[in-house]
Structure 1
Amino acid sequence: MILTSLRPYDLSVANARQPVVASTVLAVLATLMTLLRYVNRLVQKAPFGWDDFLMLGALLSSYAELILYWCCVTLGGTGRHAADVGYPDILLTLKLLVPFELLYNLSMTCLKCGIIAFYFRLFGRDEIVKRYGKVIIWATVIWGVASIIVIFLICRPFSYSWDTSQPGSCGNRNDMYIINGIGNMLLDIAILVLPLPTIWKLKLPTAQKIGLALIFSLGIFVAIISIIRIKELLAVDFEDITWSLPGGLEWTCLEESIALINANLPFLRSIFKHMTPKAFSAQWASNQQSRRTNTRKTDKSIGDDTEGTFSLVDKSVSSQYMELPDYGTGHSVHSQSGHS
């Protein structure tokens, strides 16, 4: 093995270039979708909530991971066979994997909690969402913290994670990847299922209920990608780490980007409505009438909005009334700001 550093490495090798470029493209799309979320808040003159801050935390963590990925490719030789990479660069790649794994768990924890916080804003009075949403948040946080602790404990001493020339040992890292991936996948499924009973109680035609359920069920793609990620991580060969690693890094980044895109999809319709008001003129007029009616009601309950938009009716800091259809007589979709 070559003992000296060969950095920097270019992108001439397809196994190095294609995965990192694909990850970057999806990260840009995830950024645009997340920005739409904040544009929607500003257009609606709505206060930012915990869901918005958590999504920002997930996005920034994914940026840091992508930067580490690029460092692995350009400085650590990732994408090339270990025999063609300098030994110091292989050590660098192994070192960079540690913060990469930490940031992944941080990003996914923020993202999952952000989605639940968004559900609280939409369905704040629904007992199913309130009760089980809190359970899922606690499970997500505990799982995220446990996963981070395992990263520090899997190898003893800790530095053995990247420097195997010293005395030490590591547990089965493939088992760690499998358990971590399965846990995240189960949490994704729980988050996916959580709003469905509430959506089904909405006073809407069945076709519209199915449409809303499908929008909130797009998270199934994240669960599928999580399975692919596990498969790619299991293919990592620590004897040829730089060659076998790109697939695992790529699908880790793709999982986060697609999860961010999915989490921000509900805001697209509201943005398009404001960009092309004529296309939504009939609905806009209906919503305006509903808002005028709502502001005259002392209890500020929601009028019927069968289109299921995500605009704020009451824009005060103390409470948020989301324009969603009623799901029972005398009920409204309401959440108290700052409370989960």
Structure 2
Amino acid sequence: MEPVEVPSVSITKSLGAIIFLNIVAGCFVASRIAASCSRGNRSLSIDDFLSLVALILLSSYSAVTYTFELPTGSQVENMPITTIDYVLRQTIILTTVAAFTMYFSKTPLLVLYVRIFGVKKWLRMMSYTTLALSLMLFLTTTAVVGATCSRKVSASDYMPPLEQCLETTISVGVANGSTAVLTDIIVIILPLPAIAGLNLPFHKKVGIAIIFLTGIFATSASAISLYYKSMSFTGHSTTLMVTLFCTIIECSLAIIVGCVPGVRACWSAYEMSALHKKVKSMFARSRSVKSSENYGVDDES
């Protein structure tokens, strides 16, 4: 296998955009928490806490990305072993924080589905399954990078461990990106059948569906991020800064989209707490009607 070109990565010019994305995501999380606290019980739900965890991880990943800088090929030749060790440790940290940021940026919506549409057993099971499988995949890829990049570096072979670490990191980035895109697609599709089954006027169903379909923006960001990661994997691109920055955009949009259903201003007539009660009552009413119909059929027979 040919050596991986190690480009110089500098995201100083993107610092303003990174800060802006973190601030916008933070505003949405703060609005979500404020909306939750303004409800009658004034308590936060688990998806509110998960949004806060995702925001903290996003800020951490942004900070790690900003301080992460790979040397050029000429710099590597004269690099001491201690510096190579430092680059390897940085790579492990960056990959680990990125994986958990991607995971927790997508979990609030799935947990919200369980909380709102939990009366639908199939939807509840699909949400739990998606959460479990995506977590397992992210943990597995993180462990692979940790095992590959934690090798002891010696004076005779310090180049191969660095090259192998970078190759593995790029491969893991593609795997994590594919998992993120698949998770986003599931998140978009999952609530639509439940919304279609609500005993509501058609225009209200459309309005509720549109709110959840805002996840298309996060899915698009995930797909673009995966595209650039794939370009690096196939050797058509060596600009790692683009893939790192795309991951920040992807996670920021995922956090924002996950907060949309919980922000009071975005709901207008479909306030979160009211919808939660309405959805449960609609499902209960549907079950009651079906039971009455079945009972009537039994009496006739």
Bin of the TM-score, shorter chain as denominator length:
0.7 to 0.9
1:26 aligned residue = 21
The one of 50, 53, 60 aligned to 1:54: 50
Counterpart mapping for 1:225-240 below 5 A: 225-236=221-232
Give the CA deviation at 1:130: 1.4
Give the CA deviation at 1:256: 0.8
Give the CA deviation at 1:236: 4.5
Q: Residue type of the partner of 1:127?
A: K
User: Equivalent pairs: percent with the same residue?
Assistant: 21
Give the CA deviation at 1:326: 4.5
For the structure 1 residues 29 and 90, does the alpha-carbon distance in structure 2 shift closer, same or farther, using more than 3 Å as the test? Answer: farther
Counterpart mapping for 1:117-128 below 5 A: 117-128=111-122
Contact 2:61 2:101 in 1 (8 A): no
1:309 aligned residue = 271
The one of 134, 140, 151 aligned to 1:140: 134
Counterpart mapping for 1:181-192 below 5 A: 181-192=177-188
For the structure 1 residues 196 and 96, does the alpha-carbon distance in structure 2 shift closer, same or farther, using more than 3 Å as the test? Answer: same
For the structure 1 residues 46 and 122, does the alpha-carbon distance in structure 2 shift closer, same or farther, using more than 3 Å as the test? Answer: farther
The one of 209, 220, 230 aligned to 1:224: 220
Is 1:265 aligned to 2:220, yes or no?
no
Give the CA deviation at 1:272: 7.0
SS of structure 1 residue aligned to 2:35: helix
For the aligned residue pairs, the C-alpha RMSD in angstroms reads 3.5
Give the CA deviation at 1:247: 0.8
Give the CA deviation at 1:250: 0.6
2:6 aligned residue = none
The C-alpha deviation readout for 1:151-203, integer Å capped at 9, x for no partner, is: 21344x5356xx97256462743333222211221122112211111011112
SS of structure 1 residue aligned to 2:270: coil
Q: Residue type of the partner of 1:170?
A: Q
For the structure 1 residues 145 and 322, does the alpha-carbon distance in structure 2 shift closer, same or farther, using more than 3 Å as the test? Answer: farther
Give the CA deviation at 1:57: 1.5
Q: Residue type of the partner of 2:119?
A: R
Distance 2:46 2:52 in 1: 10
Distance 1:254 1:136 in 2: 22
2:296 aligned residue = none
Distance 2:137 2:244 in 1: 21
Is there any run of 5+ residues in structure 1 with no aligned partner, and where? 1-13, 274-279, 281-306, 314-320, 333-340
Distance 2:248 2:124 in 1: 30
Contact 2:53 2:104 in 1 (8 A): yes
Give the CA deviation at 1:25: 0.8
TM, length-normalised to structure 2:
0.76
The one of 158, 165, 168 aligned to 1:165: 158
Distance 2:270 2:158 in 1: 60
Distance 1:63 1:147 in 2: 22
Contact 1:308 1:325 in 2 (8 A): no
Q: Residue type of the partner of 2:242?
A: G
Distance 1:27 1:70 in 2: 13
The one of 94, 97, 116 aligned to 1:103: 97
Contact 1:19 1:247 in 2 (8 A): no
Number of matched residues? Answer: 269
For the structure 1 residues 145 and 135, does the alpha-carbon distance in structure 2 shift closer, same or farther, using more than 3 Å as the test? Answer: same
Q: Residue type of the partner of 1:30?
A: A
Q: Residue type of the partner of 1:266?
A: P
SS of structure 1 residue aligned to 2:273: coil
Give the CA deviation at 1:226: 1.7
Give the CA deviation at 1:94: 5.2
Distance 1:164 1:193 in 2: 49
Distance 2:217 2:67 in 1: 28
Distance 1:18 1:194 in 2: 39
Give the CA deviation at 1:145: 1.5
Counterpart mapping for 1:147-162 below 5 A: 147-155=141-149, 158=151
1:10 aligned residue = none
Distance 1:61 1:216 in 2: 23
Q: Residue type of the partner of 2:146?
A: F
Is there any run of 5+ residues in structure 2 with no aligned partner, and where? 1-8, 288-301
